[in-house]
Amino acid sequence: MAHILDPKHLSNDRDYCAALDELQRVIDADADTPAGWRVDELASLISEYEASRAAPGRNAPGLSRPAVST
């Protein structure tokens, strides 16, 4: 079954939000089912995207850091 998130990475915030929405829908699935396997796939995609967005000098998605005055 083809799916919008079948690519091996999330390339933008739109894909990231779609992955979060889908994860919320399938999070309670039994681990030994296709939906349960999808939970693992989505968690990996989301984790990798968040790590790439948290590069030095950037905040992770959904996190804000207070401004620092110098």
* Residue of 56 and 27 predicted with greater confidence: 27
Q: What is the chain's percent helix, strand, coil content, to nearest 5?
A: 50, 0, 50
pLDDT tens digit sequence for 9-46: 888 999 999 999 999 999 999 989 988 899 999 999 99
DSSP 1: -
Predicted TM-score (pTM) of the model is: 0.67
Q: At what angle are helices 13-26 and 34-53 packed, to 10 degrees?
A: 150
- Please check whether residue 49 is in contact with residue 16, taking contact to mean a CB–CB distance below 8 angstroms: yes
Residue 66 confidence (pLDDT)? 45
Q: Which strand (E) or helix (H) includes residue 21?
A: helix 13-26
